[in-house]
Chains A and B, each alone.
Chain A
Amino acid sequence: MTAAAEGSPPLRMTRARRNALLQSEPVQGLALISPTLVYALILLVLPILVVIAHSFWTQHYLTIDRSFTLENYRIALTEPIYRDLLWRSLYISLTVSLLTVLLAYPIAYFISFHGGRHKSLWLFLITIPFWTSYLLRVMSWKVILGYNGVLNSGLMGLGIIDEPSTALLYNSSAVIITLTHAWAAFAILPIFVSLEKVDRTLVEAAKDLGDGPLRSFLRVTLPLSAPGVISAALIVMIPTVGDYVTPKLVGGKDGVMIANAIQAQFGKASNWPLGAALSVTTMVIVTLMAGATVLVIRALQRLAR
């Protein structure tokens, strides 16, 4: 740029250099991705920064007081109601991710090792229900577990129970069942991908060296698929902690989760800073829990070898 003032020959050189720069891979690549990147920056990064900023502010009716305070975090972490909701959300998301991974692993293993020619058909069959509306899937669990629902009326029809059970719907178990069903496919895919990468000759070698099927699975296949198990656990744990629809539809009073409290702060209660602090707290704690999960799985992996 400064070379422009130095006369024409250097100018031509700079232009040539600039053209070379413009045609270089990094510049072209970055230029091409910039619209998408800018979009993500404006609608994802900026909003999250705004939420973090709000969490340190205070709301007086309609105006926001922008002086720094940690009061919202004190409320979020010590008020029994929010503490309980946070604990319950963490408990539910941990249980759900554990269940989905346990239930999904054999399926991923079956498709990867015994799927044969039909691998992609199996994957398609398993993922297709998950492209249907999440709201509708939660709704169908309400239909199944309800007082006058499918399960109660079915069991009564079969003579197994005499009167409808109220224990099925509106509690945290109902939330856990629904979420486990809703996230099943998301756990299968990463585990499947990592199982596909397991070198089959290693499994063969373990068997040739005298390991039985269980031993070779525990010492070769399972540790090698740990990365898939980790991503499956995280991909389920992080989004479920902030689930709103499921607790609202099937959770009842005992199944309320933190997202419902966050929504209330942005709706009826109209306390944005507290809602923001609750969101940030949830994200930080779930990130810590995710980190701990990764460490535990890695430790187990080392132990198995």
Chain B
Amino acid sequence: MTAVRRFLTGGWLPAYAFLYVVFLYLPVIFLPIFSINTAATPKFPLTGFTLHWYEDLPRTPALLDAAWNSLIVGVSAAILSTVLGILAARSITRYRYPGRRAINGLIMAPLVLPEVIVAISMLLVMLQLGLSLSLFTVVLGHVLVCIPYSMTVLTSGFEGFDRSLEEASADLGESAFGTFRRVTLPMVAPAIISSLLVCFTISLDEFIIAFFLTGTEATLPIYIWGQLRFAAKLPGVLAPGTLLLVASFLLMTIAEILRRRAARRTQNEGGLYA
């Protein structure tokens, strides 16, 4: 009877929540664990601690090239999508006009469309336009899928942004640039940096679009994909995979802290996680 009562009043929920978090994290944690294991196949029991999978990394030119390509693509995609995101988020939060919701829906659409279909449609158009596939086309694709995330982060930073502060600054004799630099920018800067980090992380981790739109140059996920075909190379993939995992983890944590700071400044909650 007490068991039924506990079930009905939700007494099992904390235990369930704990198990759920374990389920979410467990698979991801196996990568770092086996990346420092001496055995060439990822299985229990662990055979011993080694860093030699990591020591091999700087001696793999293909991997270094891929990392460099990922960096270039990530930085370009982050800057471009954040600029486009700033324009759109400012327009959506500041102005009221017909078609606003429809336009917003269109810009956010890549978030819910199957990535393969987005990727092949872009591929078709790019080939028709005679663009040769390169890191540039990957950047174009990544910007499209990054904008919705950038919009989400920035909208939560811009919403509740009080325009009277800017007007007050102008009334008190600040120039337009001075107002922007000393009033607007400090208010929205955390949100902008957060958007840059989120977009960089998404681009860094994105596989499907890069896979279809790249020419001969590989990004990190494409390099990892290529290695995955050979079972013998798995440990060599676990090490860079772990590094990628840690990088995303750190970047997203910083982004979230900044986003919250931005939201607090404009007295507004919500956004990426709510």
Spell out A's residues near B (CB within 8 Å): 25-30, 32-33, 35-37, 39-41, 43-48, 50-51, 54, 103, 106-107, 109-111, 113-114, 120, 122-129, 131-137, 139-144, 146, 148-150, 152-154, 157, 181, 184-185, 189, 192-193, 196, 212-214, 234-235, 238-245, 249, 259, 262-263, 266, 272, 275-276, 279, 282-283, 286
Kindly state whether residue B181 has any CB partner on chain A within 8 Å: no
- Shortest 8 CB-CB contacts between residues of A and residues of B: A242-B114, A29-B95, A47-B121, A26-B97, A153-B43, A133-B205, A33-B91, A32-B91
Kindly state whether residue B170 has any CB partner on chain A within 8 Å: no
Given known contacts A29-B100, A47-B121, A129-B28, A35 and B87 CB-to-CB distance under 8 angstroms: yes
Give chain B residues whose Cβ lies under 8 Å from the Cβ of A212: 8
Min CB gap A89→B, angstroms: 10
The CA-CA distance from A30 to B112 in the complex, in Å, is 24
Given known contacts A25-B95, A51-B124, A114-B14, A144 and B115 CB-to-CB distance under 8 angstroms: no
Contact (Cβ within 8 A) B24 A152: no
Beyond the given A32-B94, A140-B27, please list 12 additional residue pairs across the A-B interface where CB-CB is below 8 A. Answer: A30-B99, A36-B85, A43-B122, A47-B118, A50-B128, A51-B124, A106-B16, A132-B245, A132-B248, A143-B234, A181-B24, A262-B120
Contact (Cβ within 8 A) B274 A213: no
Mark contacts of B201-228 with chain A using CB atoms, 8 A cut-off: 1 yes-contact digit, 0 otherwise: 1101101100010000000010011001
Given known contacts A135-B207, A139-B241, A154-B44, A45 and B224 CB-to-CB distance under 8 angstroms: no
Give chain A residues whose Cβ lies under 8 Å from the Cβ of B201: 131
B: interface residue count bin? 35 or more
Kindly state whether residue B98 has any CB partner on chain A within 8 Å: yes
Of listed B41, B114, B122, B208, residue having the most chain A CB within 10 A: B114
Contact (Cβ within 8 A) B30 A143: yes
Mark contacts of B85-103 with chain A using CB atoms, 8 A cut-off: 1 yes-contact digit, 0 otherwise: 1011011101111111001
Give chain B residues whose Cβ lies under 8 Å from the Cβ of A35: 84, 87
Give chain B residues whose Cβ lies under 8 Å from the Cβ of A192: 274
Given known contacts A26-B95, A33-B88, A134-B205, A139 and B112 CB-to-CB distance under 8 angstroms: no
Kindly state whether residue B57 has any CB partner on chain A within 8 Å: no
Given known contacts A26-B95, A110-B16, A245 and B207 CB-to-CB distance under 8 angstroms: yes
Spell out B's residues near A (CB within 8 Å): 8-10, 13-14, 16-17, 20-21, 23-25, 27-28, 30-31, 34, 41-45, 84-85, 87-88, 90-92, 94-100, 103, 106-107, 109-110, 112-118, 120-125, 128, 140-141, 143-144, 147, 201-202, 204-205, 207-208, 212, 221, 224-225, 228, 234, 237-238, 241, 244-245, 248-249, 251-253, 256, 260, 272-274
The CA-CA distance from A140 to B27 in the complex, in Å, is 6
Give chain B residues whose Cβ lies under 8 Å from the Cβ of A189: 273-274
Give chain A residues whose Cβ lies under 8 Å from the Cβ of B207: 133-135, 245
Give chain A residues whose Cβ lies under 8 Å from the Cβ of B241: 133, 136, 139
Contact (Cβ within 8 A) A36 B114: no
Jot down 23 A-B pairs with beta carbons below 8 A, ordered by A: A26-B98, A29-B94, A29-B95, A32-B94, A35-B87, A36-B107, A43-B122, A54-B124, A110-B10, A110-B14, A114-B13, A128-B252, A131-B205, A132-B245, A133-B207, A136-B224, A137-B28, A140-B30, A184-B20, A242-B117, A245-B207, A266-B212, A275-B120
The CA-CA distance from A109 to B106 in the complex, in Å, is 30
B112 in complex: contacting residue of A43, A144, A214, A235, CB < 8 Å: A235
Contact (Cβ within 8 A) B41 A125: no
Give chain B residues whose Cβ lies under 8 Å from the Cβ of A146: 42
Min CB gap A148→B, angstroms: 5
The CA-CA distance from A141 to B27 in the complex, in Å, is 6
Given known contacts A25-B97, A139-B31, A181 and B23 CB-to-CB distance under 8 angstroms: yes
The CA-CA distance from A244 to B115 in the complex, in Å, is 9
Name B269's closest neighbour in chain A (CB-CB).
A120
Given known contacts A106-B13, A157-B44, A136 and B244 CB-to-CB distance under 8 angstroms: yes
Of listed A33, A37, A282, residue having the most chain B CB within 10 A: A33
Min CB gap A128→B, angstroms: 6
Give chain A residues whose Cβ lies under 8 Å from the Cβ of B141: 43
Give chain A residues whose Cβ lies under 8 Å from the Cβ of B245: 132-133, 136
